[in-house]
């Protein structure tokens, strides 16, 4: 992930502009991370989910914090790209707009994936497992937590489950606030892309 992102950033810096390199590198790294992690966790059953989500990893919290910080910082990189798009050629506007939009969307997906992992860890970390009532008899797996994550990330609520612990509520509060930031980032990027393309000839 880091090597590919760094390689893409250097390539874009050398071939295009160093101002656009951070966004391109981050988009590549985020895309690989999302695909790799999802392919790893989506097949897991409930038992494997419980074991995986509670593995002792002292660097996990730091890694998640740094990743989320970089995702938020990517919005700054997107703003730089969109600012440059206003003075680019028509083809350049399209390329920069695509880069800005893909960077924002991939960061958005990464955020929801990180919260999928956090919800699972919070649910299974303290015996007895709980904090979310899924209204089912079988224990939840990662895909159940992904459903929770995307529901809060897109609608800021979930209708068919109940949050039953303060720890999970704290996670959902952080999640919905960050989702609001990214939703506005995606909207602003899309509007800027349309305006930029419409203003060019």
Number of domains in the chain: 1
Q: 196 near 86, Cβ under 8 Å?
A: yes
Residue 151 exposed, middle or buried by CB count within 10 Å (0-12, 13-18, 19+):
middle
Q: Supply 137's token pair.
A: 């008899």
Residue-level pLDDT, tens digit, the chain, 201 residues? 778 888 998 998 888 888 889 889 989 998 999 999 999 999 999 999 999 998 866 566 666 776 777 777 777 877 888 788 777 787 887 888 888 888 888 888 988 999 999 999 999 998 899 999 999 999 999 999 999 999 998 888 888 899 999 999 999 998 998 888 888 877 877 777 777 666 654
DSSP secondary structure of 161-190? -EE--HHHHHHHHHHHHHHHHHHHHHHHHH
The pTM is what? 0.87
Range of the domain at 181: 2-199
Residue-level pLDDT at 72:
74
Residue-level pLDDT at 127:
84
Q: 103 near 74, Cβ under 8 Å?
A: yes
Residue-level pLDDT at 93:
79
């Amino acid at each position: 992930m880091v090597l590919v992102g760094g390689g893409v950033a250097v390539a874009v810096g050398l071939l295009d502009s160093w101002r656009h390199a951070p966004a391109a590198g981050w988009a590549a790294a985020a895309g690989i991370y999302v695909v790799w992690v999802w392919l790893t966790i989506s097949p897991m059953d409930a038992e494997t989910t419980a074991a995986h989500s509670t593995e002792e990893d002292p660097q996990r919290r730091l890694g998640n914090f740094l990743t989320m910080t970089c995702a938020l910082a990517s919005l700054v990189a997107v703003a730089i790209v969109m600012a440059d798009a206003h003075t680019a050629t028509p083809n350049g506007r399209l390329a920069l707009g695509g880069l800005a939009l893909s960077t924002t969307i991939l960061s958005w997906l990464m955020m929801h994936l990180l919260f999928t992992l956090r919800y699972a860890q919070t649910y299974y970390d303290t015996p007895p497992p709980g904090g979310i009532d899924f209204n089912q008899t079988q224990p939840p797996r990662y895909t159940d937590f992904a459903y929770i994550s995307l529901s809060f990330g897109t609608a800021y609520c979930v209708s068919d489950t109940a949050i039953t612990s303060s720890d999970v509520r704290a996670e959902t509060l952080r999640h919905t606030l960050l989702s609001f930031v990214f939703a506005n980032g995606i909207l602003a990027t899309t509007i800027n892309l349309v305006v930029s393309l419409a203003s060019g000839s």
